[in-house]
A and B are shown apart, each in its own frame.
Chain A
């Protein structure tokens, strides 16, 4: 496997279940058992009601492109070689938005509202990263 040059996530106790799940090819997000609100990114407390009754649930992994940009310039190693790439916010069916890249398509084909699904890329033996691709 080629060396992963892009920045890698730092995994902490509160985010470990998310990254463990990605390694298994499953996207999980959090829902509060007290107020029923979803949240993303994952946190050790519910950002809405401030209880710690958050549970992990499986996302459908499907959503729509909420907005995007085709990035032509980024000096960060790994991305500098990757331009042009699509940086996007995808709104999952559960109603939370995630930063991501839209991959496996021509950047110029991406549109707001485009239906997309999660796909996973293994960065190294410890970390797998969720991306999104158009639903064919």
Chain B
């Protein structure tokens, strides 16, 4: 196989500041983000040959976005596998650029989950209205009142049963994210919380309390990816795509052990392509839809043994200053979570690798290699996992 490692680089990023934008359209937020990300790269509309986007709400999302921005891309990818879609997009953009099909791609996303009043976690099947169920799998699932949080809570419950994981250990993840959010002026929630605050708060779906669940916001962002040749002319330090891996995991016709998540399948190829070890990773962006998501993902990425994730996230190990800082922007648990969050993983990892926060507490010192892992869908039913390893020269 052709080694794709470093075959493309992230050269421009933009995170839309908004957390609540009832006066904007989703396409407008995407457009504003793409324009700013291209400015950040020092590139223009005419440089963009590939268009990558995903949406839960915009029909034919790539087609409508191209129309809105009057673009004529020659490479289009609307892979939509839930919140982790954007790690898949980066993986695909790398392949397209390394193969010489295109020299520059933009990946973008936006959502009005907050102002649209979408109960992403607790709306159940009615969160997008009350559709007629598909014959399968919906008709064997939604009739029992599934919610997104419930599907993660079931995994958390079994994790506790099998491995002795505690509510306090789950809470450690929320506490760490909140501390990081306190350093991010754009984060939704910035006031520090304690483990006791989390375990004493309202139960949403046992054993997950309210602060075990991500926030719901509006928002969006964009990433510009370029070939090595084009990256040389860009304004910022290139952030190389060193390794990628993709996986899907599901019920396996009722027989799969749901305690192992897609990260177990996707991380091996990513590490192999990148040619790095776990100990080389300076920081990680781990999709934090719920606190259990982080614990399960760290285990199945191989940062600790199965069942040891609860202990791994405790005692500040995943906080800035710890062994493996995670989600230094405050994550989905405290900064933002507009329906799907995978693009924000790429944005913060890029900021850290650019040393954008040098001289402040938010910067991971000597940050040279970062890992992003996006999870989409739900751990208890079916989900995607996209691992991306990024690095700077």
Contacts and interface: CB of A to CB of B under 8 A. Distances in A.
Given A15-B135, A97-B255, A41 B140 contact: yes
Interface in A89-134: 89, 95-101, 112, 129
Interface in A1-47: 6-12, 14-15, 37-43, 47
B221 to A, nearest CB: 28
Interface in B97-136: 119, 122-127, 130, 132-136
Interface stretch (B49-57, B76-84, B155-163, B300-308): B155-163
Contacts of A47: 253
A79 interface: yes
Interface string B201-214: 01111111000000
A71 interface: yes
Contacts of B208: 69
Interface in A42-62: 42-43, 47-48
- Pick from B124, B125, B258 the residue with the most CB of A within 10 Å: B124
B1 interface: no
B133 A101 contact: no
A10 B133 contact: yes
Contacts of A95: 254-255
Contact of B139 (A11, A37, A75, A87): A11
Interface residues of B, number: 47
A8 B133 contact: yes
Given A73-B205, A87-B145, A68 B253 contact: no
Nearest to B134: A10
Nearest to B132: A10
Contacts of A43: 136, 253
Contact of A14 (B132, B135, B149): B135
B146 interface: yes
Contacts of A96: 253-255
Interface string B243-276: 0000000010111001000000000000000000
A73 to B, nearest CB: 4
B158 A67 contact: yes
B135 A6 contact: no
Interface in B131-154: 132-147, 149-150, 153-154
B7 interface: no
Given A38-B255, A73-B204, A75-B127, A99 B136 contact: no
A42 B203 CA distance: 34
A43 B146 CA distance: 21
Contacts of A99: 140-141, 144, 146, 381
Contacts of A42: 136, 140
B139 A15 contact: yes
A98 to B, nearest CB: 7
Contact of B147 (A37, A71, A97): A71
A72 B359 CA distance: 45
B122 A7 contact: no
Interface in A63-81: 66-79
Contact of A75 (B119, B134, B204, B206): B119
Contacts of A88: 154
A75 B161 CA distance: 28
Interface of B: 119, 122-127, 130, 132-147, 149-150, 153-158, 161, 202-208, 251, 253-255, 258, 380-381
Interface of A: 6-12, 14-15, 37-43, 47-48, 66-79, 82, 85, 87-89, 95-101, 112, 129
Given A75-B126, A76-B125, 9 more contacts: A7-B125, A9-B135, A12-B135, A43-B136, A67-B158, A67-B258, A68-B157, A76-B145, A97-B258
